[in-house]
Structure 1
């Protein structure tokens, strides 16, 4: 960035993050008509992400009726989104608004590590949820023997530990710079910056591990679920004469199908939100890092929006979530035995 524009006019003297230091990063200078809406937008996204996912966490954690294997996975996913909104988004907002990082190199690495951990953990959770839904739809008779809380605990441990270890090794051992450290030191590194830089090989490996491989696994699982569900629907259509006898089991099946559709929407939203960033991440080293930093920031925030939208998906699809939120907001949650209130019949 050789020139910046102040109030829409070119300015040959760049505004710097640290005016008194040599090698300082350049500061973003925007019109107030752009700066203020952008500030409001990132603050709103952060606030809604924290509050929305906190409501999901309280709902599933408090009400006994919601303590199911599927909901435990959703609870952990909501915790992941909540932590992203609480610890990652505020610092990312400060960096995105000004283009400067004033919190030191160690906190930059820690922030990057937590960001990669939570983003990767999200899709690992979705792989676990997809596998659980596949078992529920494809093997309903053996579901309870296969998917119990011990199995869910293994899924959750895997979904958290692997991303955390992967992110720590990539960030603190600087494996992301392998093969491109000279370019990073010469053309990217500056005082007051916190750049998430990946050279060619690490960009491919990171994108594959964090997004593409688990993404294709999820798509494969849901393709299998769709085919089995279609087959079951055709079978059920031949048994309508047993409607009364089968009402209870059909009601249970409808709940399972609704849960599957909801998780499919969650997965779809995740892929739509994160695909542009990971596509850019894997291509950027091969096009000479020509992608503008502001565009990368915008794609990162599009990915963050996924964490904002998940609670709204639950609210739209699940009446139990809407009822739980009403109980929480009105203070009924503090009443005696409120944890045993029926949220659905």
Structure 2
């Protein structure tokens, strides 16, 4: 044992060297810090660019101005805002273990984090409703899912999470019963979102488990109906199909593919955010003993969901790949480019 090391421990670095009650700054090897910045900056840039391409594509090309795509446009806006407003500051906090942006912005940042996460899953929930009518009640789909209905979906998706997030954080209802723990860890340069037992369960239930369960139930029903329709089509008469029957079959195939794509989007969301919300529920019951690095890993896994969504669109939506090609090559700056066709002439 090297005895002098016991008497001369390495000097602790603080977030604010001149502050009396500064938080200690976590020491990490420089290669680890560089790797973390590289991964997180890469994720932020991919999230910004990917969702920006989705936003530009749907907003610019008139052929994409459909109720479903307006929901997708709004969800891409949510992910884009997350990458600009939330992720950069979370990156610095996660790597440096310090918050340099003041107490008030800490609360605003936490509100935006909760709001955008909840808004995203609300969008997915309403997208599952859209798919339900498209597959299970296609004859009435045009009358059921209209622009005014989408406007109501968007109003609910944005307003409820906003009131929920800002109301909870600024009222500090989430801290009732955890005052002793908050006082014990309080220091200058700390920005953590702490939930007591009640709100750890309620917030996770409202923001994730309730809408997630609804979505899973809807998609299970959709797949059951889609399989039934496919079986009926395959078992139908082998005689020459009329034009309307061919059109119905092509439409059914198109809707099934769109449903599969949105199901993958939903599945990726659940896999990305499930660990974080399970941790949010369990952490108050284990006296907030979750390691900080584990919390950050689960948090960034959730953030990565906003990075994955445009990649999923690129893989499964041919219109997105064509729109992306036109954006990158500058074709969208040509006159009347908004009226160009993004869909093949034949199914």
| Equivalent pair of 1:189/1:195 in contact (CA under 8 Å) | no
What SS does the corresponding residue of 2:239 show, helix, strand or coil? helix
Deviations 1:40-96 (A, max 9, x none): 011000000000000000001110111111111111000000000011111111111
Q: Which residue of 2 aligns with 1:15?
A: 13
Q: Aligned-pair distance for 1:179?
A: 1.6
Alignment partner of 2:219 out of 207, 222, 227: 222
Give the Cα–Cα distance (whole angstroms) in 1 for the partners of residues 299 and 336 of structure 2.
43
Aligned residues: 335
Q: TM-score, normalised by structure 1?
A: 0.95
Q: Distance in 1 between matches of 2:24 and 2:126?
A: 42
CA distance in 1, matches of 2:291, 2:9: 19
What does residue 298 of structure 2 align with? 299
CA shift for structure 1 position 181: 1.8
Deviation per CA, 1:191-211, whole angstroms, max 9, x where unpaired? Answer: 101111111111111111111
Q: Aligned partners of 2:9, 2:132: CA distance in 1, in Å?
A: 58
Alignment partner of 1:171 is 2:180: no
Task: Tell me how far 1:248 sits from its aligned partner.
Answer: 2.0
Q: Tell me what 1:144 maps to.
A: 142
Q: Deviations over 1:264-295 (max 9, x none)?
A: 00000000000011111110010111111111
**Once the 2 structures are TM-superposed, how far is the Cα of residue 234 of structure 1 from its aligned partner?**
1.1
1:117 pairs with 115, 118, 126, which one?
115
Q: What SS does the aligned partner of 1:171 have?
A: helix
Taking the aligned partners of 1:227 and 1:11, their CA distance within structure 2 comes to 64
Cα distance in 1 for partners of 2:319, 2:18 equals: 57
CA shift, 1:243, in A, is 4.1
How far 1:242 sits from its partner (Å)? 4.1
1:95 is aligned to 93
Structure 2 distance, partners of 1:241, 1:70, is 34
Matched residue, 1:269: 268
The whole-number CA distance in structure 1 between the counterparts of 2:20 and 2:199 is 30
In structure 2, runs of 5+ residues without a counterpart are 1-7
Aligned partners of 1:250 and 1:340: how far apart in 2?
A: 27
- 3-state SS of paired residue (2:73): helix
Matches of 2:242 and 2:29, distance apart in 1: 66
Alignment of 1:119-268 (within 5 A): 119-186=117-184, 188-239=185-236, 240-243=238-241, 245=243, 246-268=245-267
SS of aligned partner of 1:241: coil
Residue in 1 that maps onto 2:287: 288
- Aligned residues: CA RMSD: 1.3
Q: Please state if 1:321 is matched with 2:323.
A: no
1:189 Cα deviation after fit: 2.0
Structure 1 runs of 4+ with >4 Å offset: none
* Distance in 2, Cα, partners of 1:208 & 1:233: 35
Gaps of 5+ in 1: 1-9
Give, in whole Å, the separation in 1 of the partners of 2:9 and 2:64. Answer: 58
Q: Structure 2 vs 1, CA of residues 139 and 18 (structure 1 numbering), >3 Å: closer, same or farther?
A: same
- 1:70 is aligned to 68
Does the CA contact (< 8 Å) of 1:324 and 1:343 recur in 2? yes
In the TM superposition, residue 231 of structure 1 has moved relative to its aligned partner by 1.0
CA distance in 2, matches of 1:20, 1:284: 33
Deviation at 1:249, TM superposition (A): 2.0
Partner of 1:30: 28
Superposition TM-score, scaled by structure 2 size: 0.94
